Amino acid sequence: MSRKERDLRTAWQLVVGVVMDTRGDWRRNVTAATGLPFTRVRALKRLLEGPLTLGALAESLGTDPPAATVAVNDLEKRGLVTRLVHPEDRRAKLVSLTPAGRALLRAVRRVVDEPPASFRSLSVDEVGLLLRVFERVAGRHP
C-alpha cells in the first residue's frame, strides 16, 4: 500500500470519527425541534429529491424493507408522506413527501449545527484550507 493510500485512509477515518463523535447534540436538537426520532428525519431527507419505492428507501437508509415500512407507516400517520401504487409496477409503493413533510424538513434546516470545539481552535488560514479541501472533495470547487 502506498503512503498516499495509507494517508487517505487515515484522513478518512479521522473525518468520520470527528463527525460521528460530535453529531449527537445536533441530532438531539433535531429530535426536539421535530418531535420525531432522528431515523424518521433521515427517511424524510431521502425523499427530498423525489418519490422512492419502499425498497429504494430502505436501501438508501441502510435498513431492510420491513423496517422502512414501519418508518413510512409512522410518517404517513403523521401526514408527512404519502404512499401510492407505483404507476409501472402495481406491486411496488412510491413514497412521497407531503407539504407538511417539506415544512418539517425546513424546520430541520433551521436547527443550528455548530462545529465541534476542535474546529474552533483552528486559525483563519487553517479554516480556509479545510473549506477549500472539503469543497473540492464534495465536488463544489475545481
pLDDT digits (tens, 9 = 90+) for 42-100: 999 999 999 999 999 999 999 999 999 999 999 999 999 999 888 888 888 899 999 99
16-48 pLDDT tens trace: 999 888 889 999 999 999 999 999 999 999 999
Assess contact for 54 and 95: CB atoms under 8 A.
Answer: yes
Cβ(75)–Cβ(101) below 8 Å: yes
Per-residue model confidence (pLDDT) at position 29: 94
Q: At what angle do helices 24-34 and 38-46 cross, to 10 degrees?
A: 80
- Three-state SS string across 30-90, please? HHHHHCCCHHHHHHHHHCCCCCEEHHHHHHHHCCCHHHHHHHHHHHHHCCCEEEEECCCCC
Give every CB contact of residue 91 below 8 A, 6+ residues apart in sequence: none
Domains defined along the chain, listed by start: 3-111 (1.10.10.10)
The x, y and z cell numbers of residue 83, run together, are 404512499
The pTM score is 0.80
Quote the pLDDT of residue 70.
Answer: 95
Cell matching residue 85: 401504487
